[in-house]
Structures are given as structure tokens and as C-alpha cells.
Amino acid sequence: MKERKQIIIDTDPGVDDAIALMYAFNSDDLDIKLISSAGGNGPIENLTANAIFLTELFKKDIPVVEGYGKPLAREANYATKAQGKSGLGGYNVNKKKLKQSAIKGEAADVLYQTLKDSSEKVSIVSIGPMTNLAHLIQKHPDCKKYIKEIIFESGTKEKIYGRPYKSFNVGYDPEAAEVVLTSGIKLVMIPMELGHFAYLDKDDIKRVKKANKIGKIFAKMFTKYRDFHVGNLGAAVHDACAVYYLSHPEYMKTEQAFIDIKYYTTEDGKTFGYVDTDFTKKPNATICVDMDINMFKYDIFDILENKLK
């Protein structure tokens, strides 16, 4: 039996985060040491509850630490239009029924201690804004020696609609993303375009609903999940691509590029941050540019329909 990869998942659950966590929880390749809730898809208290709910739904004894509720240098601007008021689309978590609580401690400290306690270097999967990771790096700069890589979902390979695009996980807290991208830690970017290929179409969603009780919960989430790029075609599952890279890199096509955070100001004076991708400079990141969608869906449904009977 091959050794499982030790990982931390930093997430703002999130419908597509929930799919990513379902896959990660049930992958034979991954050993999840910690889940840290990141602000983004809603108030941090709701997202922490969502993370705990998902660990209980899948009967996983994985600690959850509550992250930071506000971006480093700006006000929070939640993605409730896309993810619903609860964060989990059309499904609302009853916090009173949760059996577990978030573990005590400041997120940066808990992340740092988890890294130090690991028997090997840890891969961090960032499928939310990077506020927690920025605090970790700023408060514990020696954390870098314990981190194997950071795989993050956000940014774009190309300009979208002919202009820089403020993808949510970076756009919510670009200053935090800048701390991470300039840290010198090995980076793997799962750009938004990948999620536009890796979506569950209407037939897939029907199949999810018919699978089992968990499938019905996910189908309810999808009822109020709005990905504005995929639209009525189905439900994009961007974040699951980041987890899939760890378990099945052989199904991913990658390129090397230089990425950094740049800013632009609109006519009304608002400043936004985005990932600038340059394939002509000395690379500092691996970019996933394509994936085997058939194998991706096969493995998602293998877990949902076979492992979760």
C-alpha cells in the first residue's frame, strides 16, 4: 500500500468546496491533518459550521479550526450570490445539531503546529481566499520549511473577456494572495478555466441525486448554486480540481509560468487584485492547463456511488 500524502485543506465551504471535501475525505491517497475555514463564501462562523457539518456527514474525525473573518486590508465581500446565503447553496446547516466544535486557538498557530507535528512535509490545498495562509506566513515565517507545496484554486491562465479577471478566491483578499505568491513556497495554480471544463452537467446532477442520501443533500445544494460562467449548463466544481491534482496528477496537463498579483482601479475608484500569468518570464509556479474530464467524473462518481453506499 502506497503512503498517503499528508495535507491541510484551507477552505470556505462552498458548494464546490463540498464536492472537493467529499473527494478528499474518501481518497485512498490523502491523509488530511487539518481543515481551516477561510472567509469568503459567507461569514466565517457559517463556513466553520459548514466544514464541521461535512466532516460529520462523512463520519471523518478531522479537526477544524476557525480562520480569520476579514481580509488582510479590505472589507469582506461575500460570494452569497453564487453560493447562497448559507454558503452551501440550497442546503442550510442546522448548527444546533452539530456534535463537534472548532478546536481552540488562532488559525495561524494551529496551522503552524500541525505542520511542525507532521512526519513529513505537508501539501496545503487552498480552495478559498488565502487570508489564513498569509497570517501563517507573516506570524511564523519558518513555516515554509514544513510546507511541500501550496495548490490553490484561483486565477486565470488567459485574460477573460479580453481583460484581467478578478477570480473570487484572489479577488476577495488579493493582499493575502500576494503574501503567499511571493513567499518562495512551491506553487501549483488551478486556474478558473479548469473549472469551466470540469462541471457537472444536468444529467450528472440527476445522477448525483439518485445516488444515495448524500447525493440528495448535494442535489439540494445545487438548487441555489450559481456559477456565472457555466450558467444553466450545470454546476462547476473548480475546487475539486485542486484535490484531484494531488491524487491524480497523471490526468493533468501542466505548464510552467510566472505568476504574481497585480492591481487595477476602476473609474469609480475601487481597486481590485488579480493573478497575472506570464509564460515568458522565469517560472515560479506550475499551472494546470487541462485535465482528463472523463476520468475526473469517473472518480467523483466512484466515490459517491460505490464508497458512500
Eight-class DSSP state of 246: H
Identify the bridge partners of residue 274 per DSSP, sorted by sequence position.
262
Note whether 125 and 9 are within 8 A (CB): yes
Cβ-based burial of 57 (10 A; exposed 0-12, middle 13-18, buried ≥19): middle
Q: Is 238 a catalytic residue?
A: yes
Preceding omega of 171 cis (within 30 degrees of 0)? no
Look at residue 111 and give its three-state secondary structure: helix
The residue to which cell 509564460 is assigned: 279
Report the C-alpha gap between 199 and 239 in whole angstroms: 11
CB-CB neighbours of 52 under 10 Å: 24
Q: Which residues contact 249 (CB under 8 A, 6 or more apart)?
A: none
The closest alpha carbon to 22, from 194, 217, 189, belongs to 217
Note whether 124 and 151 are within 8 A (CB): yes
- First-to-final CA distance of the chain: 24
* Cell numbers at 16, concatenated: 464546490
**Widest Cα–Cα separation across the chain:** 58
Report the C-alpha gap between 22 and 301 in whole angstroms: 11
Look at residue 156 and give its three-state secondary structure: coil
- Which residues does the annotation mark as catalytic? 238
